[in-house]
Amino acid sequence: MASQRDIRRRIAAVRNIRQITRAMQFVAASKLRRAQDATLASRPYSEHLDEILADLAAVLSGEDHPLLGRHDVGKRLAILITTDRGLAGPINANAVRFAAREITGEQGQIALITVGRKGRDAMRRARMPIEAHFPGFGERPSFADVIPLARLVSDDYLARTYNRVDIIYTHFVSTLVQRPALQRLLPIEPSADTSGIPGAQFIFEPNPDVVLTTILPRYVATRLYQAVLENTASEMSSKMVAMKNATDNADDLIEDYTLVYNKVRQANITREMIEIASGARAR
């Protein structure tokens, strides 16, 4: 059994760890609020833009703009969004596992663009082809951060390098629930319900080509930006929960060590008393 000194050292070490995890929990909680507000505030704009483009795709074709067109040439591209840092619970492992299930059986027919170091490292270990890598966009991503990625994806799709582009990220549901998700980015999927679409009654000024040339690149960037915001909010939420669990585990471990320490201390006191009594009798 460990000595009292060893147990005291272990208790002190666990207390130091608890201070760190508790501080990280509070920091993540404060950042979660900001990330959650940004994610929820941007959802209506992104959702309405999706609806508008889905309606346009239902009545227009690739002749009006190449980003609306479908082609069989090229590979499938998956954009995997993860975090740069660890200590964020299972969020990265779940996203990588989800991505692996989605791309299984498509070796040689799929390419990856990774955002975040954790996803890049996991896909490198799996020997998946990575076309490009972007570091994480930090705790406060801006729309300008995703512009280079959106431009790269749009240009490669227009060049027929890819025939389909998907985004894989972690969708923020609540503080306790975050789920890996896949969304098709390109080609833009037409609306399934065309009953309320005015069809040929759309009026484009000055013409459809100019309007689509302006709105479609922004659509691609908006979808990517929303996925990054969702992933950032999920990261902060998962990190807060992970650090809270670590703090609770440290509290439990301190209680266990304290109980063991008291038992060892009591056993040492009892032994010393027996030795004193035995010495007194021997005299």
Indicate if 74 and 189 belong to the same structural domain.
yes
Residue 159, phi then psi, degrees to nearest 5: -80, 5
The yes-or-no verdict on residue 166 having pLDDT over 70 is yes
How high is the pLDDT of residue 202?
62
- The pLDDT, as a whole number, for residue 169 is 92
Q: Give the Å distances, CA to CA, from 174 to 52, 84, 178.
A: 27, 22, 7
Give the bridge partners for 112, in sequence order.
78, 130
- If asked whether residues 159 and 227 sit together in one domain, one would say yes
Return d(Cα 221, Cα 144) in angstroms, integer.
9
> Phi first, then psi: what are they for 177, rounded to 5°?
-130, 120
Range of the domain at 108: 22-240
Task: Tokens for 103, please give them.
Answer: 């791309």
Distance in angstroms (rounded) separating the CA atoms of residues 233 and 224: 14
Same domain, 211 and 83: yes
- Give φ, ψ of 171 to 5 degrees: -85, 130
- Two structure tokens written together for 45: 């704009």
At 282, is the pLDDT very low, low, confident or very high (cuts 50, 70, 90)?
Answer: low
Same domain, 236 and 273: no
If asked whether residues 229 and 254 sit together in one domain, one would say: no
The pLDDT of residue 193 is 57
Q: How confident is the model at residue 81 (pLDDT cuts 50, 70, 90)?
A: very high
Q: 54 burial class (0-12, 13-18, 19+ CB within 10 angstroms)?
A: middle
Please report, for the domain that includes residue 174, its CATH number: 3.40.1380.10
Bridge-based pairing state of the strands 178-186 and 162-172: antiparallel
Is the per-residue pLDDT at 55 higher than 80?
Answer: no
187 and 250 housed in the same domain = no
Same domain, 80 and 198: yes
Q: What is the chain's mean pLDDT, rounded?
A: 82
User: Where does the chain have alpha helices with state H?
Assistant: 4-59, 91-103, 117-125, 143-158, 208-282
C-alpha 81 chain-centroid distance: 6
Q: Cα-flanking dihedrals φ and ψ of residue 29, to 5°?
A: -65, -40
| pLDDT recorded at residue 157 | 84
The answer to whether the CB of 264 falls within 8 A of the CB of 7 is: yes
Instruction: Return the pLDDT at 231.
Output: 92
- The Cα–Cα gap between 128 and 122 comes to 9
Residue reference for tokens 């399934």: 192
Q: Are residues 140 and 270 in the same domain?
A: no
- One domain for residues 135 and 63: yes
pTM, to two decimals: 0.81
The CA-based dihedral angle spanning residues 77, 84, 119, 122, taken in that order and rounded to the nearest 10 degrees = 150
User: Do 178 and 215 lie in a common domain?
Assistant: yes
Least confident among 113-117, 161-165, 227-231: 161-165
Rounded CA-CA distance 253/135 in Å is: 37
**Rounded to an integer, what distance in angstroms lies between the CA atom of residue 86 and that of residue 65?**
41
**Percent of the residues in the chain that have a pLDDT greater than 70, as a whole number:** 85
Do residues 146 and 137 make contact, with C-beta atoms less than 8 angstroms apart? Answer: yes
Per-residue tokens: 152: 């790269």
Q: How does residue 198 score in pLDDT terms, banded at 50, 70 and 90?
A: low
In this structure, the answer to whether residues 227 and 265 fall within a common structural domain is: no
Of residues 175, 238, 176, the one with CA closest to residue 24? 238
Q: Which range has the worst mean pLDDT, 30-34, 102-106, 190-194, 246-250?
A: 190-194
Measured over the CA atoms of residue 62, residue 228, residue 191 and residue 77, the dihedral's sign is: positive
What is the pLDDT confidence band of residue 87, given thresholds at 50, 70 and 90? Answer: confident
Question: What is the reported pLDDT for 201?
Answer: 54
Q: How many domains does the chain have?
A: 2
CA nearest 56: which of 267, 221, 201?
201
**The pLDDT value given to residue 168:** 92
217 pLDDT tier (thresholds 50, 70, 90): confident
Co-location of 137 and 57 in the same domain: yes
